[in-house]
Structure 1
Amino acid sequence: MSSPGFELPLRLLLAFRVLIDELHAELARQGHPDIRPMHGFVMQAIGPQGTTAVDLGRTLGVSKQAAGKTVDTLERIGYVERTPDPADTRRKVIRLTPYGMDALNRSARIFDDLRARWATELGEDRLNALESDLRRMTPANLWRLDTPGWFGNL
């Protein structure tokens, strides 16, 4: 007996939620108690080179003001800083701080640990098959960061 169609997206969303909740619980234990799930999208969009609020909003699919509000929060809790743009002093470049980079680096290691736990629970072959099937059914670009805009706003 097959499941109703609506269950598939809900199960995928729940799997995402379980992983993200476990990531954030571990990040809190490792010294990042204030970071929130949406912050990960924003910090990935900022990237190692930095970005402007306009470009950040475009990447995330939100307004410059919505992006700026989240950057304000990230700046207040120490994950990003605004610096003058060397090419145009009227603009500010948003950059990750060492604390922000630490959060991203820890996140990568925690995700590896979570994946390993899923492999232990499901079996490596089944997890590989699941990942392969998801690759087949989804776009190749893993870094589609406009999810905040797609959900409505930050």
Structure 2
Amino acid sequence: MSRSGADLALLLLGGFRGLVDAATEELARRGYQDVRPVHDFAMRAIAAGADSASDLGRSLSVAKQSAAKTIAVLEERGYVIREPDPRDARRKRLQVTPLGFEVMREGEAVFDELRTRWEQRLGAAEFARFEGQLATLVGAAPVRFDTPGWIAGDLDGSA
């Protein structure tokens, strides 16, 4: 049975959504009920150097106001803090806290477990082939941090 290109896109999106939803549910079971996918994107961008709302907005391709709201939630939950900038006392910079890094590591472990489940369903050889083919089609580079903005259609930062 031949599928359309739109069906392929929906299958890939369905796989992504299924993994993310399962990871979010598992993190909740492990005590992190307040973590959402955008929080992980934001913490990774902050850890990579996005140390202000403007920087985070650019990294995620979302409006500065949206980035500021995400930062407020992450601060409230103890995942990020604002620290004085050692180069400019007037400025505060964002830092991921040890709890934030713990959540990211736990999330990575959950995704590894979910990957193992998929591998068990298909068999090791077939799954390795599937992953290899997918990497050939989409490239081996990880998804960029701007995925939240891309999903929302806010690539120009105007939303």
TM-score computed with the length of structure 1 as normaliser = 0.91
Does residue 17 (structure 1) correspond to residue 27 (structure 2)? The answer is: no
- Superposed, 1:2-151 pairs within 5 Å as 2-47=2-47, 51-151=51-151
Instruction: State the shift of 1:21 in Å.
Output: 1.0
Instruction: State the shift of 1:46 in Å.
Output: 1.1
Structure 2 stretches lacking a partner, 5+ long = none
Aligned to 1:89, the other structure's residue is in SS state strand
Instruction: State the shift of 1:91 in Å.
Output: 2.1
What do the CA deviations read for 1:55-75 (whole angstroms, capped 9, x no partner)? 211111112221111010111
Partner amino acid for 2:127?
L
Give the conservation status (yes or no) of the 8 Å contact 2:50–2:59: no
Aligned to 2:110, the other structure's residue is in SS state helix
Question: Structure 1 residues 3 and 50, CA, compared in 2 at 3 Å: closer, same or farther?
Answer: closer
In structure 1, C-alpha distance between the alignment counterparts of 2:118 and 2:65, rounded to whole Å: 38
In structure 2, C-alpha distance between the alignment counterparts of 1:97 and 1:50, rounded to whole Å: 14
Aligned to 2:141, the other structure's residue is in SS state coil
Aligned to 1:31, the other structure's residue is in SS state coil
Structure 1 stretches lacking a partner, 5+ long = none
Tell me how large the CA RMSD over aligned residues is.
1.8
In structure 2, C-alpha distance between the alignment counterparts of 1:47 and 1:28, rounded to whole Å: 23
Aligned to 1:142, the other structure's residue is in SS state coil
In structure 1, C-alpha distance between the alignment counterparts of 2:44 and 2:8, rounded to whole Å: 27
Give the conservation status (yes or no) of the 8 Å contact 1:48–1:96: no
Aligned to 2:5, the other structure's residue is in SS state coil
Give the conservation status (yes or no) of the 8 Å contact 1:20–1:37: yes
In structure 2, C-alpha distance between the alignment counterparts of 1:119 and 1:125, rounded to whole Å: 9
Aligned to 1:32, the other structure's residue is in SS state coil
Aligned to 1:6, the other structure's residue is in SS state helix
Give the conservation status (yes or no) of the 8 Å contact 2:47–2:96: yes
Identical counterparts, % of pairs: 45
Aligned to 2:150, the other structure's residue is in SS state helix
Paired positions, count: 154
Partner amino acid for 1:121?
R
